[in-house]
């Protein structure tokens, strides 16, 4: 990766780390957080593959960790990209994140699952 791409990726990660959900956030903070999470999920979706391999290996054995984790990681990568694109396109509507955990590196030991779509963040 060239330096420009690394800077963009670092910027997206910093935006997401700074954007923690807090009650009483303004509209601008909510839509900014949603945009940041969407961009981060697009940029870092590939991390789902090693995450799933590690988690499946730790739960079972080597073969299933590699084979099953790779398949599950590819599916979750696609899911993160699609939900990230959806978040970027619909960022003016402040909704809760669809993937749980919202960012791939949060709660790394748990599997990614997908929650309700378009649940408004009314706090």
Spans of all domains in the chain: 46-123
Average pLDDT, integer, range 24-31: 82
Per-residue pLDDT, 27: 84
Using one digit for the tens of pLDDT, what is the confidence trace for 60-82?
A: 888 888 999 999 999 999 999 99
- Phi and psi based region of residue 107 (left: phi greater than 0; alpha: psi -120 to 50; beta: remaining): left
Residue 83 has pLDDT above 70, yes or no: yes
Token pair of 2, please? Answer: 């060239």
pTM above 0.75, yes or no: no
Give 31's pLDDT tier (boundaries 50, 70, 90).
confident
Q: Could you give the residue ranges of the DSSP H alpha helices within 1-123?
A: 3-18, 27-44, 48-59, 62-89
- Residue 17's CB: how many other CB atoms inside 10 A? 12
């Amino acid at each position: 990766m060239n330096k420009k791409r690394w800077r963009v990726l670092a910027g997206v990660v910093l935006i997401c780390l700074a954007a923690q959900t807090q009650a009483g956030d303004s509209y601008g903070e909510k839509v900014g957080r949603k945009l940041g999470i969407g961009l981060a999920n697009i940029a870092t979706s590939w991390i789902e593959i090693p995450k799933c391999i590690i988690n499946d290996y730790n739960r079972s054995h080597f073969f299933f960790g590699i084979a099953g984790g790779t398949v599950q990681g590819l599916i979750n990568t696609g899911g993160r990209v699609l939900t990230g694109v959806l978040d970027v396109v619909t960022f003016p509507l402040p909704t809760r994140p669809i993937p749980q955990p919202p960012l791939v590196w949060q709660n790394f030991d748990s599997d990614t699952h997908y929650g309700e779509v378009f649940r408004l963040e009314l706090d």
